[in-house]
Structure formats: C-alpha cells, structure tokens
Amino acid sequence: MIINQKSRDMTDSHPENENDNESSQPMHAEFRHQAVTARVSEDAALGVFSNAAIILSGNYEFVIDFILRMGKPDRVMARLILPVPVVGQFANTLRESLQNYETQFGALPEIPITKNLPSTPTGSPEQAAPGGFVGSIGPEGAVHSNATEGGASNRKAPPIEEIYDDLKLDDHLFGGTYANAVLIRHSPTEFCFDFVANIFPRSTVNARVFMAIPQVKPLLNSLSHSFDQFRKRQTPPPNKED
C-alpha cells in the first residue's frame, strides 16, 4: 500500500527559451510520481531490522528513529524525517494494512509479557524536548510518552536527553533521511516500510525498515498518539469571554 503525497510544484526558468513578448513569470510544471516504481538506492536495498521506535515532532516535520534493542548499547538503525501530512497518511494506511493482515492471516500475534517484570513507577510525565512530543515503543510493546501540553501517559518516560544518552547514534544518521511517501507491505511474519523521496526526476527509496508483526501495532499506537498531540498543539485555545 502506498502513502503518496503529491510533490510540490517545481519551478524552472529558461530565459533562452522565453518569448520576449511574454511576461517574466517563471514556468511552472507539476510532476506526479508513482512510489511503487521508485528506484531503490544501494544503501537502502538490504534494509535494517528494528524492534523499537522513538517519535519526535516539530512544527513542520516528524522524526522517527527506528531502534534495535538487542544487546548493548541500543542502536538507532534509521532516522526518517517526514512532513506532517505524510505522518497522518502513514498512520491511516498502516491501520488499514493491519486490518488487511488480520483478514488474511488472523489476529495479530502479541508480544509475550516477561515474567516477574518489575513494575514501572507512575507519575506525571517528564517534560519533553522543547517544541515537540516524544513517544517511544520498546521491544515489549509498551508505549512511553512525554507531552509538552501535559497530556497523560500510561507510563512515565525518562527525559529525552537520558534516552539518547543510552543510544548509539552513528554520525551518518544525525541529519536523518527525508521521505514524503511510504510503501508498506507485509509477509506472514514481518512488515516492510520503504521510505520514498518523491522528487523529480525519479522517486527513490532512501530507507527500508523491517519490523516483526507484534511490533507494528505498538508503532501505530505511538504514531497515532504523537500525531494527535501535534494536532492538539496546533488548535488555538477557545476565546474566553470576560
């Protein structure tokens, strides 16, 4: 299934081809891309495996860090930067994909609960990084969240600085990878996410992430919660009458 955000108009001006009698307005051309025919970059072809994620939102984009928690230290395997509209489309299409999976294969398998797991202390959430919401899922499937608007969370999450102090983030991942479309497919045991940059002259898969089936629903829950928190921040408070 494809989440495809229509590319922005791209402007190009060729003075040598313009008629002197025409206005000096630049030429405009709109390009439509098909993510399903996107070229797969060499770096993305093999993909990476992830069993956790951290989601951060700014004013204009979301950042999704896909993490591998298996051995120490935990490692960021891929960092994706998505425009806000794409995140909403991603969540909606992922929800539909999970429904299709259940129709085809039956109920989603759940993550086993570790026996004698110590209880997590409860309390008000810590403040997140300035200007954004932080949500994360762990291998056990629990959703941890911080909200700058004081929203409630099921479990108390540590400060974002503390989270990243414990993560291995390689230098080449600092800047992240841009994507404005996502191609989703699945097998009986895994989901595959191809993150696509729909940019002229050709769409390109810049990152490929695999997740086991039990991890996908927690990812959807965290993604949806992050997007809901973002929309609440964008809604102006009601005017109070004197």
The 3-class secondary structure across the chain, one letter per residue, is CEEECCCCCEEECCHHHCCCCCCCCCEEECCCCCHHHCEECCCCCCCEECCEEEEEECCCEEEEEEEECCCCCEEEEEEEEEEHHHHHHHHHHHHHHHHHHHHHHCCCCCCCCCCCCCCCCCCCCCCCCCCCCEEEECCCCCEEEECCCCCCCCCECCCHHHHHHCEECCHHHCCCEECCEEEEEECCCEEEEEEEECCCCCCEEEEEEEEEHHHHHHHHHHHHHHHHHHHHHHCCCCCCCC
- Residue 123 or residue 21, greater confidence: 21
Per-residue pLDDT for 8 more than 90?
no
pLDDT at 51: 92
Amino acid at 98: L
pLDDT grade, residue 27 (50/70/90)?
low
Q: Where are the domains of the chain?
A: 33-107+125-232
- Six-digit token pair at 185? 């497919």
pLDDT tops 50 at residue 183: yes
How many beta carbons lie within 10 A of that of residue 231, not counting itself? 11
Under the banding of pLDDT at 50, 70 and 90, the label for residue 78 is very high
pLDDT of the residue at 116: 66
Mean of pLDDT values over 131-137: 46
CB 180 within 8 A of CB 86: yes
Residue 216: count of CB within 10 angstroms of its CB? 21
Rounded Cα distance between 12 and 82, Å, is 25
Is the distance from CB of 74 to CB of 167 less than 8 angstroms?
A: yes
10 Å Cβ neighbour count for 184?
19
Closest CA to 212 of 227, 232, 192, 236: 192
CA distance 82 to 167: 21
Supply the pLDDT for residue 92: 96
pLDDT digits (tens, 9 = 90+) for 141-173: 444 554 333 333 455 667 888 889 889 999 999
Is residue 68 scored above 50 in pLDDT?
Answer: yes
Q: Which of 188, 182, 222, 190 is nearest to 1 (CA)?
A: 182
Say how far apart CA 70 and CA 212 lie, in whole Å.
Answer: 14
Instruction: Decide which of 117 and 237 is more confident.
Output: 237
In angstroms, rounded to a whole number, what is the distance separating the alpha carbons of residues 81 and 132? Answer: 14
Selection from 182, 196, 201 nearest residue 29 by Cα: 201
pTM of the complete model: 0.71
